[in-house]
């Protein structure tokens, strides 16, 4: 029998040349292809944009053109905020080489073994490109595996014996994408969330697909609005243990014989009729993870979505829960979950001792100016109709620690709270918090006691429609005759040394209205000081002081306050440290007045004054003995009415255009005081007699001739007061 070589030699020469060329080309392919796959040339080609896509492999082999086998394959990619990572022990794929000529990378099949997948969210997004049709197309018809080890979606981890087939198309540089009909499943799987086991022995099957579309047509969660998916789950559920007695809440799981059964279909953002789920969950919660019984959860979908929850009453803890809620329609607003609230009807009844109750406060307020610290018992009966709480709903909290922060003040006390719905034409939800005893302290100095009071009432109300409750909420904070142990603690709110509180005690009554954010409000405060010792522009005064502050508008966020209408009264005052007379009095009425409390602090006011006599004012410019005899005789000339403008900024107190008159005396002054110096001008007139004083620190210059003309030539110190910020 002739050998292969002899038979080959008998072939026509062109045939032999063709075979030799083909063999040479195949040998060249084997060398070039395998060198390319196993050297840095492959990395340089596939990892040109490592922030978007990287691929690493171990040994790789190609025996036929377009067919590749690789071991220890790892791929990582990112699109916008979504990061995906795949790892396979081995991957075997077929590439259609002719498709490369039409700018398409097509894999009719790719089979992976020992596969694991991860999908998570990145804090650093990669902005997507604008819509376009010029990029290469990636088409993977069927990526399959019969040995999927695990799949992780964020904090959700599924580990077991998995299988799946996924196909997709994606055109780069802003082109369309499509998910072909795909499926995945696990048997004998363990499902955990954030490290806590939830299900075991799980059999899970899923099918999913979405049509071809551009990203701007369905970005992010909107993609669920075009997706068709089905999930079937049969598993044993664990017992959930939530121990709230430790410094940090300890969540664990334990063995259980309970089951979860689910068959849910989603089509274009809507649950399909017949979808259902039943989950029985042994629940142990509270300090020491007390056994609360079996929590039963059920979902049923027909024309509407029905959700039920039931936890029988536990004799030891008193806890129980009965909920039956319906959602009108079957669509799920994945992008705006709050849109489901107007479609919600049903009833929730429960009794539970929570270790933290602040979630109740968060239902009412947008920012944490009001908190319910610590735990307490909650008894609730909530009735809903089309997203609105209805009459008969109630909420009772017998005892809880409450915290309210108004401006930079923190009020704390043991409270009770009661929620209800009124019968108004537009029903309102009310939460009334009563604090029998409370204390107030600066937020940054909790040991300084500003107030020690009784019977603080915080009343909050807003639209009973759940979606609008927090946006429409209004709050009223009231207390009466709270003790002020030491007036000097309020010096922290006074800028500079022009006005200082040196001693005394008092009481404070307050009534403040706030919005849901706690940063805009109005109201009034009444501070009464007994034996108040204060220094005004260096003049010491001791007696009874009263402040009736009117908050026409209080913007706590920007620290801007309109104090128009505020009144200050001084009674039984001893003016000067050595004075024997303790009968001086004075009143100040603010016409237009504002405070900008953020740095730099500034108070502006137009004020009207009424005082027993001008002695305190004149003592700022000179000692009694320094005035002409006719001026000394006018110091006790009787009551004066005065008007002027005041600015208090940082360490400087400025008084401008102050006019004071009575039947015998006329006085005009401008005065600028800072911590160490006094500057100003004073004009006095009695009949035809007049005198002027120019004050500059400790230097005084008298103007007796042409005093009025001299005073009128001096420039004003302040502009008119504006009520706008």
pLDDT digits (tens, 9 = 90+) for 347-397: 999 988 776 676 677 666 665 667 777 677 889 999 999 999 998 899 998
pLDDT for 705: 85
Mark which of 310, 343, 376 sits at the end of a domain.
Answer: 343
At residue 24, φ and ψ (nearest 5 deg) are -65, -40
- Report the range of poorest mean pLDDT among 469-483, 500-514, 590-604, 613-627: 613-627
Residue 232: pLDDT above 70? yes
pLDDT for 226: 95
pLDDT digits (tens, 9 = 90+) for 190-206: 999 888 888 999 999 99
Smallest Cα–Cα separation from 638: which of 609, 615, 620, 618? 615
Residue 622: pLDDT above 90? no
For every residue of 428-450, DSSP letters joined together read EEEEEEEEEEEEEEETT-TTS-S
- Report the range of poorest mean pLDDT among 5-9, 266-270, 691-695: 5-9
Residue 184 domain-assigned?
yes
pLDDT for 108: 95
Percentage of residues in the chain with pLDDT exceeding 70?
90
Cα angle for residues 44, 48, 54 (degrees, 5° grid): 90
For every residue of 545-611, DSSP letters joined together read EEEEEEEEEEETTTTEEE-TT-EEEEEEEEESTT-----EEEEEEEEEEEEE-SSSPEEEEEEEEEE
pLDDT tier at 316, thresholds 50, 70, 90: confident
What is the Cα gyration radius of the chain? 40
Claim to verify: residue 590 and residue 699 sit in the same structural domain = yes
At residue 139, φ and ψ (nearest 5 deg) are -130, 110
Residue 420 domain-assigned?
no
In this prediction, residues 460-464 reach a mean pLDDT of 89
Q: E strands of 154-195, at which residues?
A: 156-171, 177-193
Claim to verify: residue 247 and residue 168 sit in the same structural domain = no
Residue 275: half-sphere exposure toward Cβ, Cα within 13 Å: 20
Residue 385 domain-assigned?
no
Q: Which of 168-177, 244-253, 513-522, 555-564 has the highest mean pLDDT?
A: 168-177
Residue 25: half-sphere exposure toward Cβ, Cα within 13 Å: 8
The secondary structure of 99-161, three-state, reads: HHHHCEEEECEEEEECEEEEEEEEEEEECCCCCCCCCCEEEEEEEEEEEEEEEEECCEEEEEE
Claim to verify: residue 243 and residue 224 sit in the same structural domain = no
Burial class (CB in 10 A: 0-12, 13-18, 19+), 423: exposed
617 vs 541, which has greater pLDDT?
541
Residue 360 domain-assigned?
no
Between CA 300 and CA 225 the distance in angstroms is 20
pLDDT digits (tens, 9 = 90+) for 394-433: 999 888 888 887 767 888 888 898 999 988 888 899 989 8
Neighbours of 682 (CB within 10 A): 24
At residue 713, φ and ψ (nearest 5 deg) are -80, -10
Claim to verify: residue 219 and residue 269 sit in the same structural domain = no
Provide the phi-psi class of 466: left if phi over 0, else alpha when psi is between -120 and 50, else beta. alpha
Scan for tokens 């008894």, then name that residue.
Answer: 379
Tell me if 420 sits within 8 A of 445, measured CB to CB.
Answer: no
pLDDT for 538: 73
In this prediction, residues 658-678 reach a mean pLDDT of 83
Mark which of 193, 209, 234 sits at the end of a domain.
Answer: 234
Give me 600's structure tokens.
Answer: 């730099």
Claim to verify: residue 182 and residue 280 sit in the same structural domain = no
Claim to verify: residue 549 and residue 658 sit in the same structural domain = yes
- Find the Cα–Cα–Cα–Cα dihedral 147, 149, 151, 156, rounded to 10°: 150
Residue 467 domain-assigned?
no
- Report the range of poorest mean pLDDT among 231-240, 306-315, 715-724: 715-724
In this prediction, residues 557-566 reach a mean pLDDT of 85
pLDDT for 249: 61
Integer CA distances (angstroms), 197 to 158, 186, 296, in order: 10, 16, 18
Residue 300: pLDDT above 80? yes
Between CA 301 and CA 180 the distance in angstroms is 27
SS3 225: helix
Integer CA distances (angstroms), 725 to 279, 360, 553, 591, 722, in order: 57, 35, 11, 17, 8
Claim to verify: residue 249 and residue 299 sit in the same structural domain = yes
pLDDT digits (tens, 9 = 90+) for 482-492: 999 998 888 88
Between CA 78 and CA 80 the distance in angstroms is 6
At residue 445, φ and ψ (nearest 5 deg) are -145, 70
Burial 628-656 (b: 16+ CB within 10 A, else e): eeebeebeebeebebebbbbbbeebbbbb
pLDDT digits (tens, 9 = 90+) for 490-520: 888 777 777 888 999 999 999 988 877 766 6
Claim to verify: residue 190 and residue 204 sit in the same structural domain = yes
Helices and strands (H and E) in the chain: how many: 8, 41
- Report the range of poorest mean pLDDT among 11-15, 49-53, 192-196: 11-15
428 vs 579, which has greater pLDDT?
428
User: 139 - beta bridge partners?
Assistant: 106, 169
Q: Which of 369-373, 432-436, 700-704 has the highest mean pLDDT?
A: 432-436
Residue 534 domain-assigned?
yes
Smallest Cα–Cα separation from 338: which of 327, 352, 354, 325? 327
Percentage of residues in the chain with pLDDT exceeding 90?
37
Claim to verify: residue 652 and residue 548 sit in the same structural domain = yes
At residue 127, φ and ψ (nearest 5 deg) are -60, 135
pLDDT digits (tens, 9 = 90+) for 624-640: 666 677 666 666 667 88
Tell me if 694 sits within 8 A of 674, measured CB to CB.
Answer: no
pLDDT for 578: 67
pLDDT for 579: 66
Mark which of 184, 208, 234 sits at the end of a domain.
Answer: 234
Tell me if 108 sits within 8 A of 143, measured CB to CB.
Answer: no
SS3 209: strand
Residue 725: pLDDT above 60? no
The secondary structure of 338-404, three-state, reads: HHHHHHEEEEEEEEEEECCCHHHHHHHCCCCCEEEECCEEEEEEEEEECCEECCCCEEEEEEEEEEE
- Report the range of poorest mean pLDDT among 249-258, 325-334, 554-563: 249-258
pLDDT tier at 245, thresholds 50, 70, 90: low
pLDDT for 163: 96
pLDDT for 634: 62
pLDDT tier at 437, thresholds 50, 70, 90: very high
pLDDT digits (tens, 9 = 90+) for 144-161: 999 999 999 999 999 999
Q: What is the separation of C-alpha 418 from the centre of its chain, rounded to a whole number of angstroms?
A: 25
Q: Which of 185-194, 316-325, 673-682 has the highest mean pLDDT?
A: 185-194
Widest CA span of the chain, in angstroms?
Answer: 153
Residue 445 domain-assigned?
no
Residue 723: pLDDT above 60? no
pLDDT for 539: 79
Residue 53: pLDDT above 90? no
Claim to verify: residue 230 and residue 243 sit in the same structural domain = no
pLDDT for 30: 84
Give 452's DSSP letter. E
pLDDT for 69: 93
Residue 112: pLDDT above 90? yes
In this prediction, residues 602-619 reach a mean pLDDT of 84
Scan for tokens 């697909």, then name that residue.
Answer: 209
Beta pairing class for 109-113 and 137-153: parallel
Structural domain total, the chain: 4
Burial 573-598 (b: 16+ CB within 10 A, else e): bbbbeeeeeeebbbbbbbebbbbbbe
pLDDT digits (tens, 9 = 90+) for 255-287: 778 899 999 999 999 999 999 999 998 877 666
Claim to verify: residue 223 and residue 249 sit in the same structural domain = no
Claim to verify: residue 226 and residue 289 sit in the same structural domain = no
Domain that holds residue 708: 486-712
What's the distance, Cα to Cα, between the start and end of the chain in Å? 110
pLDDT for 601: 78
User: 282 - beta bridge partners?
Assistant: 294
- Find the Cα–Cα–Cα–Cα dihedral 521, 522, 524, 525, rounded to 10°: 20
Cα angle for residues 670, 672, 674 (degrees, 5° grid): 165
Residue 70 domain-assigned?
yes
């Amino acid at each position: 029998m002739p050998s292969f070589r002899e038979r080959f030699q008998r072939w026509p020469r062109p045939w032999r040349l063709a075979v030799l060329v083909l063999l040479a080309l195949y040998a060249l392919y084997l060398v070039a292809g395998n060198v390319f796959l196993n050297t840095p040339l492959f990395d340089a080609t596939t990892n040109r944009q490592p922030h978007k896509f990287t691929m690493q492999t171990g040994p790789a082999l190609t025996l036929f053109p377009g067919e590749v086998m690789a071991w220890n394959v790892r791929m990582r990619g990112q699109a916008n905020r979504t990061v995906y990572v795949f790892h396979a022990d081995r991957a075997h794929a077929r590439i259609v080489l002719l498709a490369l000529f039409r700018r398409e990378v097509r894999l009719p099949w790719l089979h992976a073994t020992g596969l694991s997948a991860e999908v998570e969210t990145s804090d650093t997004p990669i902005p997507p490109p604008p819509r376009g049709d010029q990029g290469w197309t990636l088409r993977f018809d069927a990526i399959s595996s019969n040995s999927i080890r695990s799949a992780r979606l964020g904090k959700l981890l599924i580990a077991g014996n998995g299988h799946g087939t996924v196909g997709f198309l994606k055109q780069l540089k802003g082109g369309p994408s499509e998910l072909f009909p795909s499926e995945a499943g696990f048997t004998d799987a363990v499902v955990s969330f954030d490290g806590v086991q939830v299900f075991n022995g799980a059999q899970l099957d899923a099918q999913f697909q979405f049509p071809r579309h551009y990203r701007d047509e369905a970005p992010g969660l909107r993609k669920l609005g075009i997706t068709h998916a089905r999930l079937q789950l049969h598993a044993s559920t664990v017992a959930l243990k939530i121990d709230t007695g430790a410094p940090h809440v300890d969540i664990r799981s334990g063995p259980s014989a309970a089951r979860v059964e689910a068959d849910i279909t989603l089509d274009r953002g809507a649950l399909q009729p017949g979808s259902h789920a039943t989950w029985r969950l042994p629940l142990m919660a509270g300090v020491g993870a007390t056994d609360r019984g079996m929590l039963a959860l059920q979902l049923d979908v027909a024309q509407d979505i029905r959700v039920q929850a039931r936890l029988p009453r536990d004799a030891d803890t008193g806890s129980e829960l009965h909920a039956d809620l319906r959602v009108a329609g079957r669509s799920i607003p994945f992008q705006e979950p709050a849109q489901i609230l107007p479609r919600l009807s049903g009833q929730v009844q429960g009794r539970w001792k929570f270790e933290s109750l602040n979630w109740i406060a968060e239902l009412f307020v947008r920012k944490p100016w009001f908190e319910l610290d610590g735990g307490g018992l909650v008894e609730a009966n909530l009735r809903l109709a089309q997203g609105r709480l209805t009459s008969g709903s109630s909420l009772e909290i017998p005892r809880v620690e409450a915290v309210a922060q108004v401006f930079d003040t923190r009020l704390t006390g043991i409270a009770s709270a009661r929620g209800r719905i009124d019968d108004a034409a537009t029903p309102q939800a009310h939460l009334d918090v009563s604090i029998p005893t409370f204390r107030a302290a600066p937020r940054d100095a909790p040991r300084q006691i500003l107030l020690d009071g009784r019977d603080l009432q915080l009343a909050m109300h807003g639209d009973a429609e759940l979606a609008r409750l927090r946006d429409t909420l209004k709050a009223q904070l009231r207390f009466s005759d709270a003790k002020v142990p030491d007036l000097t603690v309020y010096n922290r709110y006074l800028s500079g040394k022009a006005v200082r509180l040196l001693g005394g005690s008092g009481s404070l009554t307050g009534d403040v209205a706030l919005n849901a954010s706690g940063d805009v409000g109005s109201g009034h405060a009444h501070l009464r000081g007994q034996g108040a010792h204060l220094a005004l522009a260096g003049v010491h005064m001791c007696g009874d002081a009263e402040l009736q502050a009117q908050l026409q508008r209080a913007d706590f966020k920007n620290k801007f306050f309109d104090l128009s209408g505020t009144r200050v009264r001084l009674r039984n005052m001893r003016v000067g440290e050595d004075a024997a007379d303790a009968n001086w009095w004075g009143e100040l009425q603010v016409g237009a007045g504002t405070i900008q409390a953020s740095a730099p602090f500034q108070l502006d006011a137009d004020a009207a004054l009424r005082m027993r006599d001008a002695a305190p004012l004149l003592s700022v410019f000179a000692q009694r003995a320094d005035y002409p005899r006719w001026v000394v005789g006018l110091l006790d000339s009787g009551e004066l009415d005065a008007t002027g403008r005041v600015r208090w900024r940082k360490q400087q107190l400025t008084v401008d255009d102050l006019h004071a008159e009575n039947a015998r005396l006329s006085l005009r002054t401008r005065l600028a005081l800072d911590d160490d110096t006094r500057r100003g001008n004073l004009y006095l007139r009695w009949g035809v007699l007049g005198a002027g004083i120019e004050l500059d620190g400790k230097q005084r210059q008298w103007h007796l001739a042409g005093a009025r003309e001299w005073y009128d030539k001096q420039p004003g110190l302040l502009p008119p007061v504006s009520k706008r910020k």
